[in-house]
Structure 1
């Protein structure tokens, strides 16, 4: 994990007490380390290849992105009743629900405080994307709670909201200080959809390096992931899938059986096809914008990870 001694202070409130903030944000320090290697950290460099912001402005935006993303991590783990993140216990399992939720709320307000000094339009953009995140999270929980299988189209809308809000936030804030005229937001949405489907795929695909607790943990959460939606849509009379999801199981053998059902229904092959089509679509758009080696490298990394998990 990253040494936080010289990193965390940028989280502190502009109007607060630094010593007090150290105590209030202690769960955030731990959460920050859990998300240290997340792909979101590559967001601003990828799009800055085209948008070309000054280093100081890029750092300001990057810090705001890191703060609000940590809010997302804290709340997402609480809402999913998650056990692990990146192989480590989730924040609220160590610091408790109330302490972790207060930290998330405080971080969100700190982000609002910082973004109000960035640009007159910046706070409106932050509000828009936080609303999108909440809508995406809310619909995902609604489907899980009520055991409702959405259509693939509805899944795509919610996936872009859940994964795309942070990418769109970064791009919109960067565009405030850029003279680049091309609209890269549709590409940002494609990235979000690809990442969400990719995550769903990798979570359910067997990985010999995955611990017992994190193996197929989407099943423990009862998540209606992309592969599950494909299976349920194409085999509506099969009751096994939804019954197993309702169990929120942590049993390894049950999880392996669930994966075999998805394999027999062709859900993995279908997901691979969809991801391949999205990958090609994004590469065409990247070429249309004149190329971007950082972006291409990121897509290659995602593709290689998927290949490793499918072996």
Structure 2
């Protein structure tokens, strides 16, 4: 019987050839595939869970009110409102992780259900999808480039603002009220400013659209500051906030909210608040003690309400200067302290 002679093959050459054969089988198939719809839905589950229980829609109402002045086409306005909503909900998901929040809108926060890695990935993925959404606007290449710059700049501001909030908390350094306002202008004001900037920067010079020469920056800043200070106040005072976010949740987060900042600076010799913020979570009995301290000793709630009233008066004045806006005036009235949102 004739013996079959098999040529000797170098082991490394054999391995390389086998890998080549495997790649030859899978690459043509892989190149024709795209992510399955189920994969996309699974990726976005933390986001869809968060958006399934929407907030009060104040930001969308504000954009609609601004459009009474700007007169942006309805389809474009809805796209901008969707982008602002996407960025807002994604930021809430990240905020809840960074703050250790357990509740969001009366339900367990997304990361407590889906885990931190999945939730972070979904939130950052939404940031990329925003730019795809913006491409639905019928802009020239130059206009789209300007739009991308506007949105990116506002995202930079938002993250800078959030960073300040986190650094103050983790270093136990109570900021001044002026530092707090700068943080809010970056963090909370950014989402209001994003829509305002988009309107003002892109639509005012388009053919057939009347240019708007007014400056809305101050108004957007005032609304953002009012909104955040009000949120800080309601977190410590509102039964509605207790049901949706937990009792005085800001104390559990160690957050230097506006009433807390005032109280710390009113009496620097009293360490009650600073020592409590270092030991989180805060027991309910101690929370009630701090709230009573803010109410009766430092009068921080009275002071916060006075600031909110002053901001409301300033916003009303700016609205009048800009020609009046019944929708915007109605929103500010609804946000008056003591009125649930």
- Does the 8 Å CA contact 1:43/1:170 hold for their aligned counterparts? no
Equivalent residues in 2 for 1:1-311 (5 A)?
18-116=37-135, 118=137, 119-175=144-200, 176-178=202-204, 179-207=211-239, 210-211=242-243, 214-263=246-295, 264-303=297-336, 306-307=337-338
Point out the more displaced range, 208-217 or 177-186: 208-217
Equivalent position SS for 1:290: coil
What's the CA shift for 1:308? 5.1
What's the CA shift for 1:113? 2.9
Give the structure with higher Rg (CA). 2
Equivalent position SS for 1:53: coil
What's the CA shift for 1:279? 0.3
| 1:182-240 deviation per Cα after TM superposition (whole angstroms, max 9, x unaligned) | 11121000000000100011111153883496110000000001111111111111111
- Does the 8 Å CA contact 1:190/1:282 hold for their aligned counterparts? yes
Point out the more displaced range, 249-258 or 224-233: 249-258
* Distance in 2 between residues matched to 1:208 and 1:67, nearest whole Å: 24
* Distance in 2 between residues matched to 1:142 and 1:274, nearest whole Å: 25
- Does the 8 Å CA contact 1:200/1:227 hold for their aligned counterparts? yes
Q: TM-score, length-normalised on structure 1? A: 0.89
| Cα-Cα RMSD | 1.9
- Does the 8 Å CA contact 1:65/1:166 hold for their aligned counterparts? yes
* Distance in 1 between residues matched to 2:165 and 2:231, nearest whole Å: 15
Point out the more displaced range, 82-91 or 275-284: 82-91
* Distance in 2 between residues matched to 1:157 and 1:293, nearest whole Å: 29
* Distance in 2 between residues matched to 1:156 and 1:36, nearest whole Å: 24
> For structure 2, which runs of at least 5 residues remain unmatched after alignment?
1-33, 138-143, 205-210
Equivalent position SS for 1:210: helix
Residue 172 to residue 208, structure 1, CA distance change in 2 (3 Å) = closer
- Does the 8 Å CA contact 1:125/1:169 hold for their aligned counterparts? yes
* Distance in 2 between residues matched to 1:80 and 1:213, nearest whole Å: 12
* Distance in 2 between residues matched to 1:241 and 1:159, nearest whole Å: 22
What's the CA shift for 1:128? 0.5
What's the CA shift for 1:42? 1.6
* Distance in 1 between residues matched to 2:56 and 2:203, nearest whole Å: 27
| 1:55-101 deviation per Cα after TM superposition (whole angstroms, max 9, x unaligned) | 11111211211221121111111111101112111111111111111
What's the CA shift for 1:289? 1.1
> For structure 1, which runs of at least 5 residues remain unmatched after alignment?
1-14
Q: TM-score, length-normalised on structure 2? A: 0.82
| 1:107-135 deviation per Cα after TM superposition (whole angstroms, max 9, x unaligned) | 11111233356423011011100010100
Residue 64 to residue 244, structure 1, CA distance change in 2 (3 Å) = same
